[in-house]
Amino acid sequence: MHGLQILVVDDDDADALMISEALESADSSASVERVADGREALDYLRRQGPYAQAHRPDLILLDLNMPRMDGRETLAAIKSDDGLKAIPVVILTTSGAAPDIVASYQHRANAYVTKPFGLDDFESTVRQINRFYREVATLPQPRQA
């Protein structure tokens, strides 16, 4: 079984590094790319600008609180785009606020996960997300572009 192609959309360098390290240690065949905000994410997903050669991800881990274009706007844009909406999006954020959770599911997030504070718990949570999408879930096959 091949590793997942995962796009991490998070403006926090430390969190993005911890996510990448947890994914790569759990699954050495995982391919992790990172962008820092929603605008970059949409450019990546639409293969625009510096991302013309980007690979379509199997999974997107999306933070909510980012500059320029936040995760709420990014999620809405992804899920309203016929070419992108089948890609699973997991909200991975520090917010446990009920309005954020409800809004994320209303915009068709596939899951909402609050980032744990401890390093071990954080890494365990990221590994569980990876394991679920790699071993349990059946993902859509990307359309050939």
**Whole-number Å distance between alpha carbons of 23 and 2:** 14
Cβ burial of 14 (10 Å; 0-12, 13-18, 19+) is exposed
Is residue 59, in this structure, part of any structural domain at all?
A: yes
- Beta strands 59-62 and 31-35, pairing class: unpaired
Residues of the chain with pLDDT under 50: 1, 144-145
Q: What is the DSSP string of 45-104?
A: HTT-GGGTTPPPPSEEEE-S--SSS-HHHHHHHHHT-TTTTTS-EEEEES---HHHHHHH
Domain assignment of residue 53, yes or no: yes
- Tokens 């809004």 sit at which residue? 103
Give a yes or no: residue 144 inside a domain.
no
Pick from 92, 32, 35, 98: which is nearest to 64 by CA?
92
Residue 48 lies in a domain: yes
- Residue 141 falls within a domain, yes or no? no
How many domains does one find in the chain?
A: 1
Cβ-based burial of 144 (10 A; exposed 0-12, middle 13-18, buried ≥19): exposed
Q: Are 101 and 44 in contact (CB under 8 A)?
A: no
Write out the residue range of the structural domain in which residue 26 sits: 5-135
Element (H, E) at 124: helix 119-131
- Residue 145 confidence (pLDDT): 41
User: 67 lies in a domain?
Assistant: yes
Q: Is 63 part of any domain?
A: yes
Is residue 142 domain-resident?
no
The per-residue pLDDT for range 8-17, each reduced to its tens digit, is: 999 999 889 9
User: Residue 139's pLDDT is what?
Assistant: 86
CATH number at residue 128: 3.40.50.2300
Q: What is the pLDDT of residue 142?
A: 62
Distance between CA atoms of 31 and 4, rounded to whole angstroms? 6
